């Protein structure tokens, strides 16, 4: 009986430690430093990089306009974050980077993002530049096409979530997909307090 009790205690401790280790690994993956650099194009054909928004935070999501669920949900949440920030909203630039540059032209992206909020900016670019940006953010994506489907009929599996850059253009953190928009806004506001207006 004593041996069974020892084994039971050991199993409980092992379970607690394993759960802690998994949470630590997930946290490290979410908040691990990354380069978070990009060189893309906005709806007006202007080149845009992470350094083009001085004194503003950047909230960035990757996706595509044909996305049936994750992307529209993410952009709706972005819009809610901007609304919750109220007067501080002008200190945040929301960006949607396509992972489907073949179909998502600048004009298509503008129409799509403005449906959710006029201050969400869509960015596209060449296949190589989009891939480089995604790699810098550790975003994975790939085309998925049903057998026999036309070349332009495909979905794109991609990483979800939103990334936050500071006023200096450097990576701060990632918000996992499903994080409540109010929590995201509150976290951004706390970070804004560390960067007074006018400070970069």
Is the whole-model pTM more than 0.85? no
Q: 58 and 8, same structural domain?
A: no
Tell me, yes or no, whether 162 lies in a domain: yes
CB neighbours of residue 168 within 10 Å = 14
User: 17 falls in which pLDDT band (50, 70, 90)?
Assistant: very low
- Distance, in Å, from the CA atom of 185 to the CA atom of 177, rounded to the nearest integer, reads 14
Tell me, yes or no, whether 200 lies in a domain: no
- Distance, in Å, from the CA atom of 119 to the CA atom of 92, rounded to the nearest integer, reads 9
Tell me, yes or no, whether 151 lies in a domain: yes
User: 59 falls in which pLDDT band (50, 70, 90)?
Assistant: very high
Average pLDDT over residues 102-121: 96
User: 186 falls in which pLDDT band (50, 70, 90)?
Assistant: very high
Q: 15 and 92, same structural domain?
A: no
Q: 185 and 146, same structural domain?
A: yes
Q: 130 and 95, same structural domain?
A: yes
Q: CB of 60 within 8 A of CB of 165?
A: yes
Average pLDDT over residues 126-141: 97
- The CATH number that applies at residue 170 is 3.40.30.10
DSSP string, 91-112: GEEEEEEES-TTT--HHHHHHH
Higher pLDDT, 117 or 27: 117
Q: 6 and 43, same structural domain?
A: no
User: 147 falls in which pLDDT band (50, 70, 90)?
Assistant: confident
Q: 85 and 177, same structural domain?
A: yes
Q: 183 and 143, same structural domain?
A: yes
The mean of the pLDDT values for the chain is 85
- Distance, in Å, from the CA atom of 177 to the CA atom of 70, rounded to the nearest integer, reads 8
pLDDT in tens, 64-105: 999 999 999 999 999 999 999 999 999 999 999 999 999 999
Tell me, yes or no, whether 164 lies in a domain: yes
Q: 139 and 114, same structural domain?
A: yes
Q: 96 and 19, same structural domain?
A: no
pLDDT in tens, 150-172: 878 899 999 999 999 999 899 99
Q: CB of 94 within 8 A of CB of 81?
A: yes
Q: 20 and 79, same structural domain?
A: no
Q: For helices 70-85 and 106-116, what crossing angle results, to 10°?
A: 60
- Residues of the domain holding 119: 39-192
pLDDT of residue 10: 44
Tell me, yes or no, whether 197 lies in a domain: no
Total domains in the chain come to 2
Tell me, yes or no, whether 198 lies in a domain: no
Q: 43 and 27, same structural domain?
A: no
User: 34 falls in which pLDDT band (50, 70, 90)?
Assistant: confident
Higher pLDDT, 93 or 198: 93
């Amino acid at each position: 009986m004593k041996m069974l009790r020892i084994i039971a205690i050991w199993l409980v401790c092992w379970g607690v430690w394993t759960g802690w280790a998994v949470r630590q690994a997930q946290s490290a993956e979410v908040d691990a430093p990354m380069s978070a650099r990009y060189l893309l194009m906005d709806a007006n054909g202007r080149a845009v990089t992470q350094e083009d928004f001085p004194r503003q935070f950047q909230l960035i999501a990757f996706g595509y306009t044909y996305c049936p669920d994750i992307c529209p949900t993410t952009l709706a949440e972005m819009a809610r974050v901007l609304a919750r920030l109220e007067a501080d909203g002008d200190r945040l630039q929301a960006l949607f980077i396509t992972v489907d540059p073949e179909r998502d032209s600048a004009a298509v992206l503008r129409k799509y993002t403005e449906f959710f909020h006029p201050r969400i900016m869509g960015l596209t670019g060449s296949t190589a530049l989009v891939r480089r940006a995604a790699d810098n953010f550790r975003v994975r994506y790939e085309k998925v096409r049903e057998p026999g489907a036309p070349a332009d009929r495909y979905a794109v599996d991609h990483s979800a979530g939103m990334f936050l850059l500071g006023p200096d253009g450097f990576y701060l953190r990632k918000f996992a997909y499903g994080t409540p928009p109010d929590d995201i806004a509150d976290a951004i506001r706390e970070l804004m307090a560390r960067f007074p207006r006018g400070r970069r």
